[in-house]
Homo-oligomer: A and B are copies of this chain.
Amino acid sequence: MKRFLDLADFSREEITGLLALAQRLTDKPEPQALAGRILGLLFFNASLRTLASMQAGMARLGGNSFVITPGQGTYQIETRLGVTMNGPAAEHVREGLPVLASYCDVMGIRAFADGKNLETDLSESTFNAMAALVNKPLINLESAMSHPCQALADWKTMDDLKVPRQGRFVLSWVWHPRALPLAVPATALHMAAMRGMDVTVLRPEGFALPTPIMDKARRAAAASGGSVRETADRREALEGAQIIYAKEWGATTAYGDAEADAALRASLTDWCVRDSWFERTAAQCRLMHCLPVRRNTAVADEVLDGPRSVVLHEAHNRLLVQMAVLYRMLKGDPQ
């Protein structure tokens, strides 16, 4: 495995194989497996879980890491091609990325969506251009539209909790003070569809996920025996849900327009997951979220501190699944 950029690049069997490897490495640690190997981490955006768990996971396998954060101890890095660089950026990705790749055995890059033009962000042109410059195994640590490590951790969490493969999964938009990227909702949706679940996207008007994202999930559902639908009707959506996956994202009808986005979300502050959301769900319905989560804004204390929340389980699984990805990339596929 040389690239871990999008769950859609793998078969269902490959994904379940990675999850099995994550469990095997948990049950039977291999603390010297990656001795002497180097992980290079490049973060264009803030991180807590990814920053800590990638380093911890590499070290638990015997390897080591370095972290590069443009603008913080490192030069600002230009990503546009053909530009005359007389602005603040002193380095271009066309040099910076191959150089960093040449120092390590595996690389991870986080580069969020620009959030200006939906077509551009959907095309993953920025991330793909960077990926093309890296001639080492590469892990997507969240790009414009994909966060596959999160998806893998979420899938494992549902397996751990014995959520049925065909259970009802509701991806619900929740409130946030400003527009956030589409990577996590797009990836969670695709992951649940690929797992074979009965998936509902619950979102207010103006926040429908883009057609290419919905179509991609529908194709995954078709292959796995799952289903995908969307609605703005919360009561209907939550009926019988086994998972509420809460996520904040920006208005897709006002993409890149902060003012219009703010106007759309102004009246939506009741999209905060509370205990009352679980009144008509399955009895065992769980709350999932990729974190960080704004308390009492996106999800209420009563839910996050109650027994339904599995957000810490998801976050811990980040460590375990990423160790499996690193191991698979550097030790090769099973025989």
The smallest C-beta distance from A207 to any residue of chain B, in angstroms, reads 18
A29 touches B (CB below 8 Å)? yes
Q: What residue in chain B is nearest A298 (Cβ atoms)? A: B85
Q: List A residues 290-304 near B (Cβ within 8 Å).
A: 291-297, 301, 304
| Contact residues of A: prevailing secondary structure | mixed
Partner of A73, one of B36, B43, B53, B104: B43
Residues of B with C-beta under 8 A to A104: 52, 56
Residues of B with C-beta under 8 A to A43: 73
Residues of B with C-beta under 8 A to A36: 29, 31, 59-60, 62
B91 touches A73 (CB 8 A): no
Residues of B with C-beta under 8 A to A38: 56, 59-60
Among the listed stretches A116-124, A165-173, A308-316, which one makes contact with chain B, having 4 or more residues with CB under 8 Å of it? A308-316
A46 touches B (CB below 8 Å)? yes
A239 touches B (CB below 8 Å)? no
Interface band, chain A: 35 or more
Contact with B along A68-106 (1 / 0, CB 8 A): 110011110010011111100011101110111011100
Q: What residue in chain B is nearest A296 (Cβ atoms)? A: B84
Q: What residue in chain B is nearest A102 (Cβ atoms)? A: B316
A99 touches B48 (CB 8 A): yes
A242 touches B (CB below 8 Å)? no
B102 touches A315 (CB 8 A): yes
Residues of B with C-beta under 8 A to A35: 31
Task: Name, among A40, A95, A304, the residue most crowded by chain B CB atoms within 10 Å (CB to CB).
Answer: A95
Docked CA distance A100–B66 (Å):
18
Residues of B with C-beta under 8 A to A291: 91, 95, 99
Residues of B with C-beta under 8 A to A82: 296, 301
B59 touches A47 (CB 8 A): no
The smallest C-beta distance from A34 to any residue of chain B, in angstroms, reads 11
A319 touches B (CB below 8 Å)? yes
Residues of B with C-beta under 8 A to A68: 48, 51-52
A64 touches B (CB below 8 Å)? yes
B47 touches A84 (CB 8 A): no
Docked CA distance A96–B47 (Å):
11
A307 touches B (CB below 8 Å)? no
A49 touches B (CB below 8 Å)? yes
Q: What residue in chain B is nearest A55 (Cβ atoms)? A: B66
A83 touches B295 (CB 8 A): yes
B91 touches A48 (CB 8 A): yes
Residues of B with C-beta under 8 A to A31: 35-36
* 11 sample A-B contacts, Cβ–Cβ < 8 Å, listed by A number: A49-B99, A52-B66, A53-B103, A57-B103, A72-B72, A90-B294, A91-B291, A94-B305, A95-B293, A102-B312, A102-B315
Q: Which residues of A contact B (CB under 8 A)?
A: 29, 31, 35-36, 38, 40, 43, 46-49, 51-53, 55-57, 59-60, 62-64, 66-69, 72-75, 78, 81-86, 90-92, 94-96, 98-100, 102-104, 177, 291-297, 301, 304-305, 311-312, 315-316, 319
Task: State the 9 A-B residue pairs at the shortest beta-carbon distance, nearest first.
Answer: A91-B292, A59-B64, A85-B294, A31-B36, A102-B316, A56-B103, A84-B296, A55-B66, A99-B315
